[in-house]
Structure 1
């Protein structure tokens, strides 16, 4: 199955280049795989009722973290990658930990991906996202660094952004040129990846080569999700849950301007790939962000995968759509890195 690909304004669809002229509207009519339908149904009836009640209080968050970390023990990484633990020293503060996924054979030495995991800014870790990060490393032939950034409510924003910025600076200090670094993330990590890229592009730091966002959580006011909720059958996210989490992330009544991605100045950002499931409540947010990026002059491609759920890429071992989405991502990363190299040459 191919994604419905849209560039620019949400309603302006273009055909996928691999489709050889097949109209994008026809792609939207294709049915999801059997595996996708089974997983979506299982999550809707097994996980959504539990997720809808989170977070109620600090104890529920700790319980959720414990459960997610326990489940992550059962998650392996791609067999063609190896794992290295990283601890970045910081003056007057605890080191920033993280994981570096490296291809076992012939890794690219002068480029890397900085990946920021999702989890609503309150749960998950580099370990929980190894199905994505190790697959990304294997497919791209690149090191993928996943920092263990601080989580809310103990560490509200901008603590995660500060940690992400430290991770980017560490890659620069390790010898990776900025124009050979791609910043990526999913869900809340997609929000963090976009906030980080915006922060970099409006600072004295050199700009990265590109940005990849999987099912990004764009609007922390959750207004767009609330408008969309009656029309979709999201497998496990509800606007009510997202609003409760957002209050923990901000830690204050007034929204930090860096959190409001739709109000940011997106001029001079590198090329962007956004992938979103057609059946998730965050789809309108991805569409609106793609529109904002394009209006600012950014080279942005939005892929809408029909029938897919939030963060479906994490199921790349069992979903054919997820495997293809990861392959699409690898092609995008290779293209932006090659373009930067050619421009320098």
Structure 2
């Protein structure tokens, strides 16, 4: 039998690096015990927002990317009911006519912001050479479902209205932002809204009920996510909404004519089962998809692309997928 070395394998099949193992251990010991004690009330959410906002400054955003605050009142667009706000992340020489990435940040629908995710969004902009738009959407518990979905939909409609062809828009989302991206894609397939060109999901939170996470084989290994806490946040977002609404229950809503999907998930996170189940839904719908399960990696490990080699490789894989078949040429190597 021929022995295959790690170097000969795709990056998402290699043995975890010592850096990623050390990071997972540090987060398991330093963050998970605390996160398990934080409740889903207003005080707990304020604590999470403060801590994650401060912690995001420790993750290096690419200084070559121009960050441009954005607000469009959309007064000339009656189909959009409120201003669209967020930020553009523009790489050197980036031209929106070649394509745009619409990035929907994660944070359990209650925390984080475009700013907290700049380690990912600036890297995406640099690796793809495309402008990235990260909208600021309303969050629970102040604004439960469908507020975040409506804001994501408005951001997508705005890009279309400003002349970006749908096939040159890639939706990207992590965690709850991954749920938003998948939900928005499903809505486009169910309505007359043009379908985006591609969708990339980083550790998507697919089952907001928490049932799959609670039964996950990774329950004790996940360094970060406590399923009971995620379940509380899911309830905060859904509020009085119908859990069977296709904008929420995306596992039961396979659609035809879906765009290509790339799904990346950590091998030791409790959301792995959800990503695999969603991949099954895509397969049943006949969609073009790729599922990458990265051994030993945790939830949204792409955030640490300046710290662990797997995160940088994952970002390059995502960039290659985004630029595939659209005539953008080769993907530049990140510094």
Partner of 1:275: 264
- Give CA deviations for 1:108-160 in whole Å, capped at 9, x if unaligned: 53310000000000100000000000000000000000000000011111111
Partner of 1:318: 307
- Give CA deviations for 1:151-184 in whole Å, capped at 9, x if unaligned: 0011111111100011001111222111100001
- How far apart, CA to CA, are the structure 1 residues paired with 2:146 and 2:219? 33
- Please report the RMSD computed on the Cα atoms of aligned residues, expressed in angstroms: 2.2
Spell out the pairing of 1:1-345 with structure 2 (5 A cutoff).
Answer: 28=13, 30-90=14-74, 95-107=83-95, 109-229=97-217, 232-252=220-240, 254-255=242-243, 256-338=245-327
Q: Is the 8 A contact 2:265 2:294 kept in 1?
A: yes
- How far apart, CA to CA, are the structure 2 residues paired with 1:206 and 1:254? 25
- How far apart, CA to CA, are the structure 1 residues paired with 2:82 and 2:288? 38
Alpha-carbon spacing, 1:195–1:27, altered in 2? closer, same or farther (3 Å): closer
Secondary structure of the structure 2 residue equivalent to 1:32: coil
Q: Is the 8 A contact 2:12 2:292 kept in 1?
A: no
Q: Which stretches of structure 1, 4 residues or longer, exceed 6 Å deviation after superposition?
A: none
Partner of 1:343: none
- How far apart, CA to CA, are the structure 1 residues paired with 2:20 and 2:283? 31
- How far apart, CA to CA, are the structure 2 residues paired with 1:107 and 1:41? 41
Secondary structure of the structure 2 residue equivalent to 1:274: strand
Secondary structure of the structure 1 residue equivalent to 2:67: strand
Give the structure-1-normalised TM-score. Answer: 0.87
How many correspondences in the alignment?
Answer: 318
Gaps of 5+ in 2: 329-335
Secondary structure of the structure 2 residue equivalent to 1:145: strand
Gaps of 5+ in 1: 1-14, 340-345
- How far apart, CA to CA, are the structure 1 residues paired with 2:143 and 2:38? 18
